[in-house]
Amino acid sequence: MVALVLAVSLLAPAAGADHLDEGDHLDRPDPNAELESLDTAELGDVVSDGPFAKVIKDLELTGRGERLVQGATTDVWAHDGFAYTGTFNTPCPPDPEAGVWVWDVHNKNKPTFVTTIESEPGDRTNDVKVATLNSGDILVMSNEACTDGDGGIEIYDVNDPTNPVKLASITIDELNPISDALFGGLQNLGVHNLWLFTQGSNDYVAAVSEGAFDNFRVYDITDPTNPTLIAAWGAEEIFDPGVGDETVDEARVLDAALWLLDGFGASANRFLHDITGTADGTHAYLSNWDAGLVLLDISDLASLTSVSLPNDRLVSVALDPDNGSRDGEVNSHAAWPSEDGSIVVETEEDFAAWVSVQPPTNLTFGEQTWNTIPGVAISTSAGDDFEGSQIGNTVILDAASIEVTAGPLAGNLYPASELTGNQPKLADTGPIEAEAVWVGQGCDTDNFFVPGTDTAGVVDPHLNDPDGKIAVVRRGGCSFSSKLGAAQAAGAIGIVIANNVTGDTPWGGIRIWDYSDPENPVLASLFDTACSAAASPIPECDPLGVYSVHNVVVETRGNKVRAYVSWYWDGMLVLDVTDPYNPVEVARYFDNSEEFLASNGGNPHDFWGVYKEPKSPWIFGSDRNGGLYIFREQGGGSG
């Protein structure tokens, strides 16, 4: 793992200032003034000397709102003394813990849980946004189906955050009738991310629709009880302008759909992932995965005569696959502009990294009638070990690991991930202890296992027979459900799928764009951490960690431009991007001490979301494993 990095405060705040409840109306100085004065100083040795340094002195953890459920906390937002965190993964609603958690953060040292805005049945919540609109304080939360939910958006009145009032639900269908027919009727689509904005007396929410076309949707919520679709656009218009019109033929629609799936690298889609708007609500930055970072003019939405946003509203596409990534990926995930729009920071999320040592997490056996034995997946390198030592290894198999207790591989512990589907789950059945035997690809029911060779060199056709044992098979050659069915027919009591992917690559980092000319953005620089830049695991980084960048918020403060970044296992980072051609890391929170791990349910921090309270020192982070974090930025000259 990376060496321990703890924020050290060399600037003493006013006595007791951080310990007062901000609900008390006291005459206190502007908290941002302190930061502005410090940031005018020379940064000196307070900051790191580049993307790969790790000793930082400018960030302090002040408070936590714990939710110790592994992999289950998503995004974070804060507004007027309250913070809001989403939930993901299990449990899938209906469950009283699933939805948006509301925290009172008036006291930044002691955030307190207030209530849960429950997700709709069958849906889970990735994103949450809150803003003061013409109609008051409005919260929107995204719905993604995790069983049989309807997807879409929920709208709440949070003028009293302790008592949220539901105003409306939005369900989303495919707009293009040809693409809808081609792909089997796309209705009740999920929504991944949201953005609230205002234009004069009109209020809007922009949404990422998880359909084929028109991923960018804008709804008028001036009357939040009666949302109305007002605009839509999709990256397919970059490939074939006008393809979204209802009058086009099926061949054009199919070609555009295939283009949307034919991007760069391992994750090659060109669908929309996230939206950020300018403060005046006139432009939107669309992080369109492998289609790049799209800038749209969305001014004067009220004058539109058609839902389809005119193609002349496309201002530019920031895309440089050759120079904009260390491994040729694009994966435009999230972006945020500086106050004047001259600098835009874009994140590249990438999970196709260090693949030989990481177990795959997206495999499924499906819903098959013969699924009666449990199964997990392991990494390519773990599979290599079992292929090299095919028999005699007694293992304990559970949903997250394979522990070898006896045999040639005794003492090894291999991380695993349980496949989805309707097979028995190890969490329900309990761990299995048995011999693990290598059986090759395991695609042939009649000749399921490979003959083994004993220690004397004699071929024994039954040496690798998995009857009553755990079958270890290599990915490929047939479906996962076929492998499970063949293993079950051979008498195996469990199955392990070893990955077959090789060729480790770096994780995703940051692209910083010069938007001095918005119609012609220029890639100014890249920024990576030591772990995200490594093409294969290095000693400083846990080989099973997640080191992709995730979300970003940018703030202009005085003459400084700062990017606040959630970076999964690498922690919470602050970058000075005032010069977009020379980004500098000025702060990081990172802790892998035994004390921290014990306080975090035994799991590392895994930062998903970040929110920067405007013109204040407060930064909010969401840890997928541990819940809400509140940080105080100390100021660049605090050293």
Task: Write the pLDDT tens digit of every residue in 134-165.
Answer: 999 999 999 998 888 999 999 999 999 999 99
543-597: per-residue pLDDT in tens? 989 999 999 999 998 889 999 999 999 999 999 999 999 998 888 888 888 999 9
Compute the distance between CA of residue 102 and CA of residue 105 in angstroms, rounded to an integer. Answer: 9
Exposure b/e, 170-203, CB count within 10 A at least 16 = b: bebebbbebbbebbeebebbbbbbbbbbbbeebb
Q: Which of 250, 168, 259, 173 is nearest to 211 (CA)?
A: 173
pLDDT single digits (tens) 395-442: 999 998 999 999 999 999 999 999 988 999 998 889 999 999 999 998
Report how far apart the first and last C-alpha atoms of the chain are (Å, whole number): 26
The pLDDT assigned to 5 comes to 25
Distance in angstroms (rounded) separating the CA atoms of residues 158 and 600: 30
| Spatial CB neighbours of 108, under 8 Å, sequence gap ≥ 6 | 18, 22, 62, 63, 618, 630, 632
Q: Are 498 and 474 in contact (CB under 8 A)?
A: yes
The answer to whether 113 and 73 are in contact (CB under 8 A) is: no
Mean pLDDT, all residues of the chain: 87
The stretches of 472-616 forming alpha helices (DSSP H) are: 480-489, 530-533, 594-599
Q: What are 163's two structure tokens?
A: 């008592």
Please say whether the dihedral angle defined by the alpha carbons of residues 174, 177, 183 and 185, taken in this order, is positive or negative. Answer: positive
Q: Which residues make beta-bridge pairs with 460?
A: 452
> Is the previous residue joined to 91 through a cis bond, with omega within 30 degrees of 0?
yes
Kindly state the average pLDDT of the residues 213-237.
Answer: 97
The beta strands (E) that lie in 407-493 are given as 413-415, 417-418, 420-421, 432-438, 452-453, 459-460, 470-474
For the chain, the C-alpha Rg in angstroms (whole number) is 26
- Are the C-beta atoms of 37 and 128 separated by less than 8 Å? no
Contact 261, 194 (CB under 8 A): no
Give me the pLDDT at residue 34, please: 53
Distance CA 193, CA 157 (A): 19
- Is residue 618's pLDDT more than 50? yes
CATH code for residues 17-178+191-275+288-354+504-633:
2.130.10.10
Token output for 173: 């269908």
**Gap between the Cα atoms of 225 and 156, Å rounded:** 9
For β-strands 202-209 and 216-220, DSSP reports them as antiparallel
Question: Would you state the structure tokens that stand for residue 392, as one six-digit string?
Answer: 């005699």
153-210 tens-digit pLDDT = 999 999 999 999 999 999 999 998 888 888 888 999 999 999 999 999 999 999 999 9
46: left (phi over 0), alpha (psi -120 to 50) or beta: alpha
Write down the pLDDT at residue 4.
Answer: 24
Please report the pLDDT score of residue 432 as a whole number: 96
- What pLDDT is stored for residue 80 in this prediction? 97
Domain ranges of the chain: 17-178+191-275+288-354+504-633, 364-498
- Burial of residue 477 (CB within 10 Å: 0-12, 13-18, 19+) is middle
Average pLDDT over residues 446-471: 74
The CA distance from 320 to 631, in Å, is 34
pLDDT tens-digit readout, 349-360? 998 899 999 999
Q: 3-class secondary structure for 590-605?
A: ECCCHHHHHHCCCCCC
CB 68 within 8 A of CB 601: yes
Q: Return the pLDDT at 580.
A: 96
Across 281-416, where does the E strand assignment appear?
283-287, 293-297, 314-318, 332-337, 343-348, 364-366, 375-378, 393-397, 401-406, 413-415
pLDDT of residue 106 exceeding 80? yes
Among residues 141, 170, 166, which one has the least CA distance to residue 156?
166
- Give the C-alpha separation, 40 to 233, whole Å: 42
The token pair that represents 624 in the structure block: 């997928």
Count CB-CB contacts under 10 A for residue 436: 28
Res 448: pLDDT: 75
**H-assigned helices in 128-242:** 177-182, 236-239
Give the sign of the dihedral formed by CA 199, CA 203, CA 208, CA 214. negative
Indicate whether 470 pLDDT > 60.
yes
Quote the tokens at residue 151.
Answer: 């997807």
Q: In this predicted model, which residue has the larger pLDDT, 314 or 539?
A: 314
Q: Are 467 and 493 in contact (CB under 8 A)?
A: no
The reported pLDDT for the residue numbered 32 is 52
The tens digit of pLDDT for each residue in 240-291 reads 999 988 677 899 999 999 999 999 998 899 999 999 999 999 999 999 999 9
Predicted pLDDT at 184: 83
Q: Do residues 180 and 174 make contact, with C-beta atoms less than 8 angstroms apart? A: yes
How far apart, in whole angstroms, are the C-alpha atoms of residue 198 and residue 321?
34
Which pLDDT score, from 0 to 100, does residue 48 have?
A: 37
pLDDT of residue 17: 28
Residue 40: pLDDT over 50: no
